Chains A and B, each alone.
Chain A
Amino acid sequence: MLEIKDLHKRFGDTVALDGVSLSAAPGEVVGFVGANGAGKTTTMRIAMGVLAADSGEIVYNGSPLGVEQRRRFGYMPSERGLYPKMKTGEQVAYFGELHGMSRAEAKRSAGDLLEQLNLTDRMGDFVQDLSLGNQQRVQLAVSLVHDPEVLVLDEPFSGLDPIAVDVMGTALKDRAAAGAPVIFSSHQLDLIERLCDSVSIIGNGKIIAAGTVEELKAKEVKQLRVTVQTPDDLTASLPGTVTRDGDDYLVEDADDQEVLRIAAAAGRVTHFAYDQPSIAEIFREAVTR
């Protein structure tokens, strides 16, 4: 269990984080969403120990996170970085060693990962000679090479082609299935919706909405959508506030059972459900509130 507790951070006069808390249980994939400059990267940097918080703490499995434990984390910073003049295979293995693997382990793991990423034939090439997309894959390999216990990934999907997105998504799911807490940020909200168990939305250095995807959707439920096969216009006969969306009726502030009864009496009801907002809608709602 990785817990980020009440982080505060200022840069000069700018308040970057104002009490950010976030947690990921074993096997949980947490999406971290927010506008540019909301504090996602700062939070993740503090979690990974590359930046010090003014106050607040990072707790892992019940005790403050130390260097040795953090070494077993996998991290992908928002600003990608690799040694341009180092061979791909050597570089991935080097990071494995830095994370505490033996040389042999690191080499084997680097070989396996690069094979999964279709980079086996580029292992002997300098990173600077790879295409940008392939460099991204190497970056992914670097953050996964040591079989991390926890993943903290800042915009892992940005700049990836669809195949790499699938590889990355599978990697996240696999790590989570193996029991790792996973936190990642993204602007691609469809991906967040597809991959995440829960979502935290940050705005101006504060968490403005958090919960499982279902909880968030349930909270944001606004209207009942009813489709009835009838030649009559039911706008006046249905209770509550009724609007039309094409052939559908959108009903708010009404007893749903009563709506169903009236609709069923008028004709055949082919659709009767509360509209589930997408994460994108929830996000827009949360940040503009």
Chain B
Amino acid sequence: MTAQHTETSRLRGLMLVAGREIRVRGLSKANIISSIVTVAIVGVLAALPTIIGGDDGDEKIGLAGTTAAAMQTQLDAMGGFAITTYGSADEAEQAVKDGDVEAAITDGTLYSEDGVDSGLQNQLDSAWQAASVQTNLADAGLTDAQIAQALTVQPLDAVTLGASGGAGSPLDYFTGLIISIIMFMMLMTPAQYIAMGVVEEKSSRIVEILLTSLKPWQLLGGKVIGLGAISLVNLVAMVGVGLGVAAATGMLADLPPGTASAAVSTIGWYLIALVLFGTLAGGVGSLVSRQEEAGSVLTPLIMSLSLSYVGAIFLLNAPTSTFAQVLSIVPPFSAITMPTRMAIADVPAWEIALAIGLLALAAAGALALGSQLYKRSVLYTGSRMKLTDALRRAA
């Protein structure tokens, strides 16, 4: 032959398959539209607290009367208030009616349109108490220095006695919840697409041509890589937009300091879990020849993913329990439960290392099992192939 072709290396075959998945599925109109919609929803959700809570975080408070100066000092010290001082109680009252301020405090009276929420009420109460105490002490003839000394209180020193640091804050809980939901969705979607893609190639019989120039592992691996990459891009876009909107609306400062590292470690967990679930999905997908049958062979996989998710939700409520500890180490559940647990509680390094080791081992096992299943059953057509037959069959 005259034509000289460049040798297709093993890696190139793998990347060609992955590239095709990305081009055909990732860049399909359906995927782009659904990604944009999802990212938009995440963006709106991230902005929601700000939209509901007003355009900036400061509560607008009106002050009037003789205590106005003392209250202003207290509220300034607390922070988070935009204070307007009015000349009289009537003016302050009118400002509340007009909606210029959320609430107004004159000598001993709190005006509001229809009550204030309990958080604000508490803050205003303690400011009022502190201002009153200060005024009373001053009236009793103490100097400012004496008053300051009298009001200085050492805050409670918190000591946690639980093994792993006890339940986290509501924000940690929220972070854990988001991680578990994202992990669940981001593993479910590519697993289903991988199985569907395998069945598509099988049912259309194109696999027979593919296998003349590709090894089964390249075909399966390329699918996992390609569809995983699409999910990862969606994931990064979602997280990026979410964090971006949070940063723009000033909410980011309220997030726990570990958020960024949690995001990074979640991606690491995700990649190992993707190999585990993706290769298994491809393997079981190859057992059937028609798209309608794909659901039945995927059921065990979807069940274990769902159980991991349910486990993660349980774990959020009891992060220090033995059950949570075990669940977050045993694969495949650890894929979702460990990153969730890490968000809400301090996990000893050895437990994390053990969980990673076991999950990686399970992923390697799944890779071997999935590709064996795939190799043995991908050319078999007809009714659904039994798992035991596939394992017994000579490749």
User: Which chain A residues have a beta carbon within 8 Å of chain B's beta carbons?
Assistant: 45, 48-52, 67-68, 70-73, 75-77, 79-86, 90, 94-95, 97-102, 105, 142-143, 146-149, 178-180
Bound together, the chains give a CA A217 to CA B7 distance in angstroms of 44
CB<8 Å pairs between A and B, sample of 6:
A50-B208, A52-B394, A72-B5, A79-B208, A82-B206, A98-B210
Tell whether, in the assembled complex, residue B5 and residue A100 are in contact, meaning their CB atoms are under 8 Å apart.
yes
Bound together, the chains give a CA A67 to CA B7 distance in angstroms of 11
Tell whether, in the assembled complex, residue B205 and residue A51 are in contact, meaning their CB atoms are under 8 Å apart.
no
Chain B contacts of A80 at CB under 8 A? 205
Which residue of A is nearest B25, CB measured?
A: A85
Bound together, the chains give a CA A84 to CA B205 distance in angstroms of 11
B2-31: CB near A (< 8 Å → 1, else 0) gives 110111100001001000100110001000
Chain B contacts of A101 at CB under 8 A? 5-6
Which residue of A is nearest B203, CB measured?
A: A81
Most chain A CB atoms below 10 A, which of B24, B28, B210, B212: B212
Partner of B205, one of A81, A85, A180: A81
Known: A50-B379, A99-B8, A101-B6. A81 touches B208 (CB 8 A): yes
Q: How many A-B residue pairs have CB under 8 A?
A: 90
> Which residues of B156-209 have CB atoms within 8 Å of chain A's CB atoms?
200-201, 204-209
Tell whether, in the assembled complex, residue A70 and residue B209 are in contact, meaning their CB atoms are under 8 Å apart.
no
Task: Judge whether B147 is part of the interface by a CB distance below 8 angstroms.
Answer: no
Which residue of B is nearest A142, CB measured?
A: B209
Bound together, the chains give a CA A76 to CA B212 distance in angstroms of 10
Which residue of B is nearest A47, CB measured?
A: B212
Q: How large is the interface on B (under 10, 10 to 19, 20 to 34, 35 or more residues)?
A: 20 to 34
Bound together, the chains give a CA A67 to CA B24 distance in angstroms of 27
Partner of B204, one of A51, A83, A143, A179: A83
Which residue of A is nearest B20, CB measured?
A: A94
- Contacts A81-B208, A98-B213, A179-B1 aside, 13 further interface pairs with beta carbons under 8 A come to A49-B211, A51-B379, A80-B205, A81-B207, A82-B204, A83-B200, A83-B201, A83-B206, A94-B16, A101-B5, A101-B6, A146-B3, A147-B3
Chain A contacts of B239 at CB under 8 A? none
Chain B contacts of A72 at CB under 8 A? 1, 5
Bound together, the chains give a CA A85 to CA B195 distance in angstroms of 16
Partner of B16, one of A52, A97, A179: A97
Which 10 A/B pairs are nearest by Cβ-Cβ distance? A81-B206, A81-B205, A100-B5, A79-B205, A100-B8, A77-B208, A149-B1, A147-B3, A81-B204, A71-B213
Tell whether, in the assembled complex, residue B6 and residue A98 are in contact, meaning their CB atoms are under 8 Å apart.
no
Task: Judge whether B248 is part of the interface by a CB distance below 8 angstroms.
Answer: no
Which residue of A is nearest B9, CB measured?
A: A100
B354-382: CB near A (< 8 Å → 1, else 0) gives 00000000000000000000000001000
Chain B contacts of A105 at CB under 8 A? 5
Chain A contacts of B264 at CB under 8 A? none
Chain A contacts of B210 at CB under 8 A? 98
Bound together, the chains give a CA A67 to CA B13 distance in angstroms of 12
Chain B contacts of A50 at CB under 8 A? 208, 211-212, 379
Bound together, the chains give a CA A191 to CA B142 distance in angstroms of 117
Chain B contacts of A85 at CB under 8 A? 24, 28
Chain A contacts of B13 at CB under 8 A? 98
Task: Judge whether B77 is part of the interface by a CB distance below 8 angstroms.
Answer: no
Bound together, the chains give a CA A50 to CA B372 distance in angstroms of 15
Task: Judge whether B140 is part of the interface by a CB distance below 8 angstroms.
Answer: no
User: Which chain B residues have a beta carbon within 8 Å of chain A's beta carbons?
Assistant: 1-3, 5-8, 13, 16, 20, 23-24, 28, 200-201, 204-215, 379, 394-395
Chain B contacts of A81 at CB under 8 A? 201, 204-209
Bound together, the chains give a CA A105 to CA B5 distance in angstroms of 9
Tell whether, in the assembled complex, residue A71 and residue B207 are in contact, meaning their CB atoms are under 8 Å apart.
no
Chain A contacts of B211 at CB under 8 A? 49-50
Which residue of B is nearest A149, CB measured?
A: B1
Bound together, the chains give a CA A266 to CA B352 distance in angstroms of 107
Known: A68-B7, A84-B204. A95 touches B379 (CB 8 A): no
Known: A49-B212, A50-B212, A94-B20. A100 touches B7 (CB 8 A): yes
Known: A80-B205, A81-B207, A100-B7. A70 touches B212 (CB 8 A): yes
Tell whether, in the assembled complex, residue A98 and residue B214 are in contact, meaning their CB atoms are under 8 Å apart.
yes
Chain A contacts of B204 at CB under 8 A? 81-84
Query: How far, in Å, is A107 (CB) from chain B's closest CB?
Result: 13
Most chain B CB atoms below 10 A, which of A45, A73, A81: A81
Bound together, the chains give a CA A282 to CA B146 distance in angstroms of 122
Which residue of A is nearest B204, CB measured?
A: A81
Bound together, the chains give a CA A71 to CA B207 distance in angstroms of 15
Partner of B212, one of A48, A102, A147, A180: A48
Query: How far, in Å, is A137 (CB) from chain B's closest CB?
Result: 15
Which residue of A is nearest B378, CB measured?
A: A50
Which residue of A is nearest B218, CB measured?
A: A98
Tell whether, in the assembled complex, residue A52 and residue B395 are in contact, meaning their CB atoms are under 8 Å apart.
yes
Tell whether, in the assembled complex, residue A99 and residue B5 are in contact, meaning their CB atoms are under 8 Å apart.
yes
Bound together, the chains give a CA A105 to CA B8 distance in angstroms of 14
Tell whether, in the assembled complex, residue B207 and residue A83 are in contact, meaning their CB atoms are under 8 Å apart.
no
Bound together, the chains give a CA A238 to CA B177 distance in angstroms of 102
Tell whether, in the assembled complex, residue A98 and residue B16 are in contact, meaning their CB atoms are under 8 Å apart.
yes
Known: A86-B24, A102-B6. A71 touches B212 (CB 8 A): yes
Bound together, the chains give a CA A76 to CA B205 distance in angstroms of 11
Chain B contacts of A90 at CB under 8 A? 23-24
Bound together, the chains give a CA A105 to CA B212 distance in angstroms of 20
